[in-house]
Amino acid sequence: MGLAYCIALAEAGFDIVVADLLDTSDAVSEVKAAGGRAIGVHVDISSAADNDALAAAAVGAFDTIDVLINNAAYFSETTRGPFNEVSEREWDRTFEVNVRGVWLTCCSVYPHMQRQGSGKIINIASNTCFKGTVGFPHYVASKSAIIGLTRCLSQELGPDGITVNTVSPDLIPNPSLRPTDAASDQFVVAGRAIKRTQQPEDMVGTILYLAGRGSDFITGQNFLVNGGAFCQ
């Protein structure tokens, strides 16, 4: 999803900072191939120092930070099983990345957005918050916390001209991160009004809307992008 956002925003004229715990060179190359300017930064978003360095790199390269998309998450390494069998280590790491990481990234970009009097923060949550998906209590709880954090930050940062919203995707299969069997995908598809597998590109329109001027009066909201599976 992150790569899809980067390419779409680059095509819309945004300069891109690709931030990842892994190597960013391929993603940066794809953004440049799409006609955009981009840099890559190695970041562990659970580290305050890494987030401060990320914000500094963005400003150093492009002068401003206009949009932050908090897409990084601890998911592919989570273990699915009964709630009382989740290890404390895995529970803590999930919240360390998915909640503390989002908070820290917001903290790092905030002074720059506050100084310029504008900014768009887009946090990525999950439809699992509303399904109560069995087997991932730590992941579901962490993504639910993002929705609450978004609402809180929208109230606090609104006077600074900064909007904060959440986008919640449904199941988007990614075999390279976590295999999704066909039966599970079709079960999810059957519950949608639009009967097909969701793709990363299905998220792009909502992201572009929230990153653009047309959403300047929209804040504190959670947008479900799920093919009509259900509403809040």
Active-site residue flag, 139: yes
From the candidates 74, 110, 139, 209, give the one annotated as an active-site residue. Answer: 139
User: What SS3 string covers the chain?
Assistant: CHHHHHHHHHHCCCCEEEEECCCCHHHHHHHHHCCCCEEEEECCCCCHHHHHHHHHHHHHHHCCCCEEEECCCCCCCCCCCCHHHCCHHHHHHHHHHHHHHHHHHHHHHHHHHHHHCCEEEEEECCCHHHHCCCCCHHHHHHHHHHHHHHHHHHHHHHHHCEEEEEEEECCCCECCCECCCHHHHHHHHHCCCCCCCCCHHHHHHHHHHHHCHHHCCCCCCEEEECCCCCCC
Please give the positions annotated as active site.
Answer: 139
